[in-house]
A and B are shown apart, each in its own frame.
Chain A
Amino acid sequence: MAIFGKKEQQIVMDGIWNKNPIAYLVMGICSALAVTVKVETALLMAIGTSFVLSFACMVISFLRNYIPSNVRIIIQLTVIASLVIIVDQVMKAYAYEISKQMSVFVGLIITNTLVMGRTEGYAMNNPPWPSFLDGLGNAIGYSGMILTVAAMREIFGSGTFLGHQVIPQAFYQAGYINNSMLLLAPGAFFLLAAIVCLQRSISGYKEEQQ
């Protein structure tokens, strides 16, 4: 078995593009809206979720033959929650300022449907390595989406990117104003819908036939 052959590449690509969790599965929307006002928070959420998702999938996959099916959801949650707390603790130690803003959202990783969805839907039935890749692919797909949303919201909502002013002062003097709707939840909804629509039209998404 190749470590990273055609099949493995396919698993990762499915997560990143073909079956992108946000555009195709419409999972993890909640955090895609909550943390995308600024690129910085989105980036941290992306890193945190990627770590949790990949390792949760791998750990669950290692345990998959031992997990009694009647308590499997609770076991999955225990594993996910433990990983999330580790992320939170590490951030408190090495990125304190950001952890203060993020602590509420980091808790949200536990209930991110994406993580539960992948552990329950893929890792429970597949060996550890493909499960890890599936988690990683989905995490990259998810990260790409929320970073795109965050970049657009920050640039057009606040005129900054990663906190640096990108819209020149001359624009404001010429009458340009930041679109503050993008900073609010509805702005994120419209934007996300437009991005999902764009992604689906490129990737050739089809509704499943009944």
Chain B
Amino acid sequence: MPKRSEFYPVGFAFVICAVASLLLASVSQGLKPMQELNMGLDLKKNILRSVKLTPPVPPHASPREVTQIYTDAIQLAVIDDQGNIVPGKKPDDIKGRQGLYPLFIYQKGGIVQGYCFPIEGKGLWSMLYGYMSIEPDGKTVRGITFYKEGETPGLGGEIEALWFQKNFEGKKIWDDVRQQTVPLAVAKGKVQDRMPKEKWPYYVDGISGATLTGKGVSALLESWIRTYEPFFMKLHRN
């Protein structure tokens, strides 16, 4: 083997890195349209899941079928910070505008079945993204989904699990006695063991081993329920 200069390893490493970067960049660019299509479709599926679409989307529905179901069931709207629906605006128009929030309205046979809005916030390690749906009364949770997170699998990652999301259904975000909004929160452990009975409607079961992810979820619920509170108040009056 010929003798190599002491700079050879550096040069070699540099070339390898350059080739690898070039390769990865082109793969990533080449597959991007397909990946974005998938992501868009996933959002639609999650919105449909959070509003508890009946009947639910068939598990092997083609992208076109999902889009069709979505367009038929969901009406897109935008609300301002006073809770008024801004006429003629779509969620896509919001980008970067302050004080405007997207709203997805689930209708069936011309009757509103639920209102859905995006939620996001910090968990323990990562940002959590999901959708929450409220019944037309503006007081009761209809459903919730989390579709993107980077929490510990098996612990915080359980927020994507069905049992965790199911335990939000029917919970209250409005206290009828005190006449005020009660942001839903994640309990430490089982609600039935940890909380006095009158608080049951306002807490969901926590995930054991994931207290900090639970705190993150509570914080993001608080922030987003407060954001949409003016809109819910208007629903109460109707």
* CB of B65 closer than 8 Å to a CB of A: no
Selected from A66, A68, A79, the residue in CB contact (under 8 A) with B20 is A79
* CB of A67 closer than 8 Å to a CB of B: yes
A79: shortest Cβ distance to chain B, in Å? 7
Stretch from B4-12, B163-171, B173-181 forming part of the interface with A:
B4-12
A89: shortest Cβ distance to chain B, in Å? 5
Q: How many angstroms between the C-alpha atoms of A206 and B8 in the bound complex?
A: 43
- Is B4's CB under 8 angstroms from A68's CB? yes
Given the known inter-chain contacts A82-B24, A92-B38, A104-B153, please indicate yes or no for A68 contacting B31, CB distance below 8 A: no
Instruction: For A86, give the chain B residue with the smallest CB separation.
Output: B27
* CB of B23 closer than 8 Å to a CB of A: yes
Given the known inter-chain contacts A68-B8, A70-B9, A71-B13, please indicate yes or no for A78 contacting B31, CB distance below 8 A: no
Given the known inter-chain contacts A85-B24, A104-B153, please indicate yes or no for A93 contacting B31, CB distance below 8 A: yes
Selected from B13, B28, B38, the residue in CB contact (under 8 A) with A74 is B13
Selected from B12, B17, B24, B34, the residue in CB contact (under 8 A) with A93 is B34
Selected from B9, B24, B31, B42, the residue in CB contact (under 8 A) with A71 is B9
Contacts of A65 in B (CB 8 A): 1
* CB of A96 closer than 8 Å to a CB of B: yes
Contacts of A75 in B (CB 8 A): 12-13, 16
Contacts of A176 in B (CB 8 A): none
Contacts of A82 in B (CB 8 A): 20, 23-24
B36: shortest Cβ distance to chain A, in Å? 9
* CB of B208 closer than 8 Å to a CB of A: no
Q: How many angstroms between the C-alpha atoms of A79 and B24 in the bound complex?
A: 11
* CB of A90 closer than 8 Å to a CB of B: yes
Contacts of A67 in B (CB 8 A): 12
Name A's interface SS.
helix
Contacts of B13 in A (CB 8 A): 71, 74-75
Given the known inter-chain contacts A67-B12, A68-B4, A75-B12, please indicate yes or no for A89 contacting B28, CB distance below 8 A: yes
Instruction: For A90, give the chain B residue with the smallest CB separation.
Output: B31
* CB of A94 closer than 8 Å to a CB of B: yes
Contacts of A93 in B (CB 8 A): 31, 34-35, 38
Instruction: For B15, give the chain A residue with the smallest CB separation.
Output: A66
Contacts of A74 in B (CB 8 A): 13
Within 8 A of B (CB), among A91-141: 92-94, 96-97, 100, 104
Q: How many angstroms between the C-alpha atoms of A93 and B34 in the bound complex?
A: 5
- Is B16's CB under 8 angstroms from A78's CB? yes
Contacts of B23 in A (CB 8 A): 82, 86
Q: How many angstroms between the C-alpha atoms of A104 and B151 in the bound complex?
A: 10
Contacts of B1 in A (CB 8 A): 65
Contacts of A85 in B (CB 8 A): 24, 27
Selected from A78, A81, A89, the residue in CB contact (under 8 A) with B27 is A89
A164: shortest Cβ distance to chain B, in Å? 13
Given the known inter-chain contacts A67-B12, A86-B27, please indicate yes or no for A78 contacting B20, CB distance below 8 A: yes
Contacts of A68 in B (CB 8 A): 4, 8-9, 12
Instruction: For A163, give the chain B residue with the smallest CB separation.
Output: B59
Q: How many angstroms between the C-alpha atoms of A78 and B153 in the bound complex?
A: 26
A206: shortest Cβ distance to chain B, in Å? 37
Most buried by B among A79, A90, A93, A94: A93
- B: residues with CB less than 8 A from A are 1, 4, 8-9, 12-13, 16-17, 20, 23-24, 27-28, 31, 34-35, 38-39, 41-42, 153
Besides A86-B23, A100-B42, 15 more A-B contacts (Cβ < 8 Å) are A67-B12, A68-B4, A74-B13, A75-B12, A78-B17, A78-B20, A79-B16, A79-B20, A81-B20, A86-B27, A90-B31, A92-B35, A93-B38, A94-B34, A97-B42
